[in-house]
Amino acid sequence: MELIEAIYQRRAIRDYTSAKVAASTLNELIDAALQAPSAMNHQPWAFAVFQGRPRLLEYSVRAKAHFLAMVLAPFGFHERGDTLTDPTYNIFYNASTLLVICARHEGLNPAEDCCLAAQNFMLAAHAAGLGTCPIGIARPWLNLPEVKEELGIPSDVAAVFPLTVGYPASLPAPTPRQAPDVLCWKNDNPDPAGP
Ligand SMILES: Cc1cc2nc3c(=O)[nH]c(=O)nc-3n(C[C@H](O)[C@H](O)[C@H](O)COP(=O)(O)O)c2cc1C
């Protein structure tokens, strides 16, 4: 697949088949993630993999409860009638694999570096016929000290970019993009052929 095709065709996938993602496939995609640029080449990323639908369903219940109580409630959003209050809503969309790209506290921009690695992973996954969806809702729960200890994420590492991985059961329609908000474009040489 051409890179530009992957960029334009990748979608957040929220419907997965029960097919498992092989460890070898995940390792290849993680290798693609490692090719991302990082500030001063510090490569501050680390990876946590969780597999199995029952496990992810249990994490979903706990992460959703934490998000509602600790993240939304302080802002008065506890009455929201959207999917988050729906007990049947699985924040991982029945995927059987969750990858959490984590940042060691080193380098200049560890979180940004991890997001670049995540984009590499998602594009490579799309090219390999897999679907992914970033799951920002899970992040506050994943960063609780007791949850990190339980899951095996070291305390000095931050969960930055959780994403589901799996084989798409259906493909969503493209999400429209707004026109670019070009704030300024200064050019001392208005000749279009010039530098
Ligand atoms: C940092 C980040 C966090 C996100 N968190 C969630 C999430 O918790 N749940 C979800 O369903 N989608 C989540 N998304 C996916 C976005 O909703 C999705 O990328 C956006 O609507 C554009 O759709 P597309 O990816 O199909 O182009 C997240 C995306 C990003 C970049």
Residue nearest to atom 26 of ligand 1 (CA): 11
Using the mean position of ligand 1's atoms as its centre, give its distance from the Cα of residue 71 in Å. Answer: 17
CA of 84 to the centre of ligand 1 (A): 15
The residue-averaged pLDDT of 148-158 equals: 98
Is the pLDDT at 80 greater than 60? The verdict is: no
In 2-107, which ranges are continuous DSSP H helix? 3-9, 23-34, 53-66
Q: Does the pLDDT at position 76 exceed 80?
A: no
Minimum mean pLDDT among 37-41, 80-84, 148-152: which range? 80-84
Task: Please state, for a pLDDT cut of 90, what percent of the chain lies above it.
Answer: 83
Report whether residue 12 contacts ligand 1, using a CB cutoff of 6 Å: yes
- What is the pLDDT, as a whole number, of residue 195? 62
Helix (H) or strand (E) holding 126: helix 110-127
Question: In angstroms, what is the span from residue 20 Cα to ligand 1's centroid?
Answer: 22
Please tell me the residue having the least CA distance from ligand 1 atom 15. 134
Ligand 1 lined by 135 (C-beta under 6 Å): yes
Mutate to test the pocket of ligand 1, among 10, 16, 59, 175 (most ligand atoms within 8 A of CB): 175
Min mean pLDDT across 51-65, 138-152, 177-191 is at: 177-191
Distance 191 CA to ligand 1 centre (A): 40
User: Which residue reads 């992914």 in tokens?
Assistant: 132
Say whether pLDDT at 79 is over 80: no
The class level of CATH for 3-166 reads alpha beta
Entry pTM: 0.94
Confidence of residue 181 (pLDDT cuts 50, 70, 90): very high
| pLDDT number for residue 124 | 98
Query: Which one has a higher pLDDT value, 69 or 193?
Result: 69
User: Predicted confidence band at 45 (pLDDT cuts at 50, 70, 90)?
Assistant: very high
66, 122, 126, 135: residue to mutate for ligand 1 pocket, most atoms within 8 A of CB: 135
List the structure tokens of 72.
């939304």
Where exactly are the structural domains of the chain? 3-166
In this predicted structure, what is the pLDDT of residue 84? 80
Block residue for tokens 């009638």: 81
Q: In angstroms, what is the span from residue 81 Cα to ligand 1's centroid?
A: 19
Residues in Cβ contact with 16 at an 8 Å cutoff, skipping those fewer than 6 apart:
93, 94, 95, 96, 131, 164, 166, 167, 168, 169
User: Of residues 106 and 75, which shows the higher confidence score?
Assistant: 106
Which of helix, strand or coil describes residue 18?
coil
- Give the separation between CA 81 and CA 124, rounded to whole angstroms: 36
C-alpha span between 95 and 167 (Å, rounded): 8
CA 43/CA 46 separation, integer angstroms: 9
83 or 182: which leads in pLDDT: 182
From 133, 163, 177, the mutation candidate for ligand 1 (largest count of ligand atoms within 8 A of CB) is 133
Quickly state the pLDDT bin for 118 (edges 50, 70, 90): very high
Mean pLDDT of all residues in 24-37: 98
